[in-house]
Structure 1
């Protein structure tokens, strides 16, 4: 049975952010998270791998990639960081109803068969850059003030150029090919789309949210 990983980032009316949080959870800073039992240990392991590739060139598919054991370990760790509790899933549903209807500046959505777009981005950026992104490994709910305060860190993590961007694009393709079934995934949009939404929210005085899901 095939699964599809999805990552959505969209602007949310500022007045709705606090209403949603008040109705669903008691923590107004972000969506609550279920941390893996050995979060410090796994982060230390990931940092220790540095910029090493966790994939090798495929011997059966020209231009493709195959995942090594460490790629599977990182994928499992990132999946374990996601809170799939009933309360948080209900909050994700409520937030999604506030997103703009059209995929323009105020909405970014990425989907891939058998792979999580956010996990591909995390692999491309590395642990320290990922921890500069809002919220908890792709999940966040920020009001307008929080968007403005977190935007510089997100820009530092995502606004890549030159060799750093080329490396990130290659690593996204490796993840989507080696673990997923989407070798032609739009890696540039995966880097640019979330930042475009956060900048739009900051310009217009709105909040923003992101959520990682599997279907």
Structure 2
């Protein structure tokens, strides 16, 4: 594919989430609102998973929008916001950040394909992109917990579908998202999830 992508989930106080909202929410809605994207999402969520990997149409769904990419490339000449510095690079971010980076593929694709459509439809946002206040984190936690809690057989099946995998030092896409929801809910924080090409 010739890309390196990142999918991040980070926890922030509601003041910062409020500052991100006018920048980020319109970009998510622009991608969600594209008719072809909605059709692709509907076909995936009703058609199931693929033993040998995702279909080209699913790849097109994940990579099809360029609105959210502005969170990394720059929103405008008048807005100095930078995802790398202003979100991921916050000095005190610590364990309030889950980050999956994949070379030559889409990091969020690994997650969605691993959990499958029946679980993915329980998650807020669009294709891994979301912005939630602390109240919305608490409200969505039961649904996210249902989506991302696995018995041993379900876990093994999801790990087989996570064909991109992760290194020994990396947090699994099957663990990081639910950890972040629980951390944010326990700490009274909101969440920002974003899928981007970083180079």
TM over 0.5: yes
* Residues 1:194 and 2:177 aligned together: yes
Structure 1 residue 114: deviation in Å?
A: 0.9
Structure 1 residue 154: deviation in Å?
A: 1.1
Paired positions, count: 190
Give the aligned partner of residue 136 of structure 2.
146
Q: Output one character per residue of 1:91-135: Cα deviation in whole Å (capped at 9) or x when no partner.
A: 983596245547753110010111112111111122232122121
* Residues 1:158 and 2:148 aligned together: yes
Q: Gaps (5+ residues) in structure 2?
A: none
Query: TM (normalized to structure 2)?
Result: 0.79
Please say which structure displays the higher CA radius of gyration: 1
Match of residue 169, structure 1, among 154, 159, 178:
159
CA RMSD of aligned residues (A): 3.1
* Residues 1:75 and 2:59 aligned together: yes
Give the aligned partner of residue 179 of structure 1.
none
* Residues 1:207 and 2:190 aligned together: yes
Give me the whole-angstrom Cα distance separating, in 2, the residues matched to 1:110 and 1:172. 12
Give the aligned partner of residue 128 of structure 1.
118
Give me the whole-angstrom Cα distance separating, in 2, the residues matched to 1:149 and 1:111. 28
Report matched runs for 1:12-161 at 5 Å.
Answer: 12-22=12-22, 24=23, 31-35=28-32, 36-53=34-51, 55=52, 71-81=55-65, 83-84=67-68, 86=70, 90=75, 93=82, 97-99=86-88, 100-101=90-91, 104-161=94-151
Q: Gaps (5+ residues) in structure 1?
A: 56-66, 177-182
Query: TM (normalized to structure 1)?
Result: 0.74
For the residue of structure 1 that corresponds to 2:162, the secondary structure is helix
Quick check: 42-51 or 73-82, which moved more?
42-51
Give me the whole-angstrom Cα distance separating, in 2, the residues matched to 1:165 and 1:185. 17
